[in-house]
Amino acid sequence: MNRILIPALLLSILSGYSYGKSPKLVLQVTVDGLRADLIKRYASHYGENGFNYLLREGVVYTNAHYLHANTETIVGHTTLATGATPAVHGMIGNVWYHADTGELGYNIEDATAPLIPTRKHSRKGAQLDPAQTRARSSGRSPLGILVPTFSDILSKSTAGKAKIFGISGKDRSAVAMAGQKGTAYWYSTDNGDFQSSSYYMEQYPDWATSWNGKRLAEKMAGQKWALLHDASHYKLAQQDDRPYEIDLKGYGRTFPHPFGALQHPLFFTRVLVSPEGDRLLLDFAKALVEAEGLGQDDVTDYLSISFSSVDAVNHFFGPSSLENEDVVVQLDRTLEELFTFIDQKVGLDNTLIVFSADHGMADMPEYAIEQGKDAGRLYSDEVLAMAREISAELFDSENIVKDFFRPFLYLDGVALASKKLSRKKASAAIARALAKKPGIGGAIPSQEAMASEASGIAGAIRNNIHPQRVLSVISYRADSANPVSKPSVSRFAVPSATPGSKILATALS
Ligand SMILES: [Zn+2]
C-alpha cells in the first residue's frame, strides 16, 4: 500500500433499492476529513440508523484509496465528483497557479461570478483558512474544473430535467459536487447564512431567503458545545486538555466550548467547529429537499451534502481528541436524522446513497511525538525560507524561488533567465537539496514526476499534476529567455507524512 495515501471509506447503499429501476434521488454524502479508522474507533457509540444503517445495508469498500498525493478538500471532492484524478480534472490543490493572471489563486475563485449577499449588512468574520486568503476575489464557480462531473452527466442524460444541488459548510465542497449544471450553496463564516454566487442564480429563491431569515446560527450566541454523553463514556476522555490544541481565542481546549458573543470575529467559525455546523447543514438540506421537490418524480435528482465539522474540529483539536470523538458521535445522530427525513420524503428504497471522506487527517505532530513517533511541525514559511537559502547557496540568488503553497514550490522565470539558468537543472538541484532538509519527506521536480511511470508516491504525485496547467504556467512572466514552450513554474511535491520523515504541520485544508 502506498503509505502517503490516507484511506477513504467508500460506501454505496442500495438498501431495498433494486437494480434495473432508476433511483428517484442520488444522495452523495461526504464527510470532510473523516479518516476511515475513526468510524470503527467510535463504533460502540452509534445508534441503529446512522453509520450503522450504511454499514449494515450498504456495499462497503474497506480498501479504497485515492490515487493522488495531495489529499486536500478540493482535490478529493472533485475526484469524488468526476471519478478522475487531478491530473485530468485539474483541481490539483486548494491553491494553484492561475496562468491568466500569473498568480497563485484559490481553486474555485471566479471574479466574474460574485457572491450574492444574503443580507444588507454583514460583518466580516476572521478568515482562518490559508487557502481562502489566496483568493483574489470572493466570486466562486466550478469553471476551473476541466471535465464533467457525475451531476453534469446526469443533467445531460435527463435533458436538463434532473434537479441538482451541492451544499456544504465549505464553498469548494459544494461547488465541486454541483458541477456546472447544478446549484451550490455553502455556509458563510461571516454571518452563518448559506450563500451562493451569480454563476448559479440572479437572486435567492424565497425558501433560501426564508431559511437564512431564521438566523439559526446566531441562536448559538451564548451557547456551548457540550458532550453528548457523560465524559466517562468516551474512549478519549483523557485527551481533552492538551497544550497543543488551538483554543480559537477563547473557545477553549476543554468541554464545554463556549461559542461566545455574536460579535466575536470567530463566532461563526466556532459554530462550524462543532456538531452545530453539521446540524445547520442538515436543516438547510431539509428546507431544500422540500422546497425544490427532490425525488418526487421519475427523473433522478442529485443532492450532495458535504459535512465540514469533523474536518474543522480535526484542524484545531486533532483527530485523536475528545472533540473529534464527540463530533463524530454527534454526526452519527445527524446522519440518522438525515436518513429518516429522506425516507419520509423520498423513501430510502428510492434513494441511492454514496458515502465517503474527501481525505483523511494526520494526527497532530505533538500527539505523534507522545506516541513515540519521529514528528514535528514545519510551517510553510519555513519551507519557503529553506528553499530560498538553498537557492542562494547554489545560484547566488534567493529570488529564483518565487513562492510556496503546499505542496508546490514555484520558481521565478525572470530570476532564472537573469541567471541564465535552465529550469530543469535548477529544479533538480533545488529538489535534491530540499529533500535532505530535516522535516522534508521528499521533493521532486514536476517534469520528472510527469515522466515517471512509477507507482507509489511518485505515481501519486504524477496523478496530481495536470500537464496542461503546468504547461499553462508558461505565460508566467514569459520572456525571451524563457520561451512559451517551456514551463516557467516548477512544482515540487512535499508529502505530508512519509515513513521515516517528520510530519509536516497541517493547516486548514
Ligand atoms: Zn477536506
Phi, psi of 71 (to 5 degrees): -80, 80
- How remote is the CA of residue 3 from the centroid of ligand 1, in Å? 19
Cα 220 to ligand 1 centre (Å): 24
pLDDT of residue 468: 58
- Whether cis (ω within 30° of 0) applies to the bond prior to 256 is yes
What value, to the nearest 5°, has the Cα angle with vertex 350 and ends 344 and 355?
90
Alpha helices (runs of H) in 70-164, residue ranges in sequence order:
73-82, 86-89, 150-157
Tens-place pLDDT, residues 191-229: 999 999 999 999 999 999 999 999 999 999 999 999 999
Length, in residues, of the chain: 509
In angstroms, the CA 177 to CA 198 distance is 17
Q: What is the DSSP string of 403-417?
A: EEETTEEEE-HHHHH
Query: Which residues, other chains included, contact 213 with Cβ-Cβ below 8 Å and sequence gap of 6+?
Result: none
Task: Give the phi and the psi of residue 111 in degrees, each rounded to 5.
Answer: -65, -20
DSSP readout, 88-114? Answer: HH---SSEEEETTTTEEEETTB-TTSP
Q: Is the pLDDT of residue 367 over 70?
A: yes
Could you tell me the end-to-end alpha-carbon distance of the chain, in angstroms, rounded to an integer?
A: 24
Give the Å distance between the CA of 173 and the centre of ligand 1. 8
Q: How far is the CA of 158 from the centre of ligand 1 (A)?
A: 30
Which position has the higher pLDDT, 475 or 13?
13
188 neighbors 194 (Cβ within 8 angstroms): yes
Q: Band the pLDDT of 458: cuts 50, 70, 90.
A: confident
Provide the pLDDT for residue 452. Answer: 81
Task: State mean pLDDT over 74-81.
Answer: 97
Taking 50 as the threshold, does the pLDDT of residue 506 lie above it? Answer: no
Rg (CA), the chain: 23
Q: Are the beta carbons of 159 and 300 closer than 8 angstroms?
A: no
Expressed in angstroms and rounded, the spacing between residue 46 Cα and the centre of ligand 1 is: 23
Tell me the pLDDT tens digit for each residue of 220-276.
Answer: 999 999 999 999 999 999 999 999 999 999 999 999 999 999 999 999 999 999 999
Gap from CA of 359 to ligand 1 centroid (Å):
6
Q: Quote the CA–CA distance of 331 and 279 in Å, as a whole number.
A: 8
- Would you state the pLDDT for residue 444? 83
Give me ligand 1 centre to Cα 74, in Å: 7
> Tens digits of per-residue pLDDT, 158-178?
999 999 999 999 999 999 999
Q: Which residues contact 387 (CB under 8 A, 6 or more apart)?
A: 401, 404, 409, 430, 434
Q: Taking residues 92-109, what's their average pLDDT? A: 86
Q: Ligand 1 mean position to 392 CA, how many Å?
A: 36
Give the number of other Cβ atoms within 10 Å of residue 482's Cβ.
20
**Tens digit of each residue's pLDDT (9 = 90 or more) over 430-443:** 988 988 888 887 88
Percentage of the chain with pLDDT > 90?
A: 65
Ligand 1 geometric centre to CA of 380 (Å)? 19
Q: How far is the CA of 471 from the centre of ligand 1 (A)?
A: 27
Ligand 1 center from residue 108 Cα (angstroms): 14
The CA–CA distances, whole Å, from 220 to 59, 167, 168, 215, 502 equal: 38, 21, 19, 10, 39
Least confident of 11-20, 200-209, 312-321: 11-20
**pLDDT higher at 96 or 150:** 150
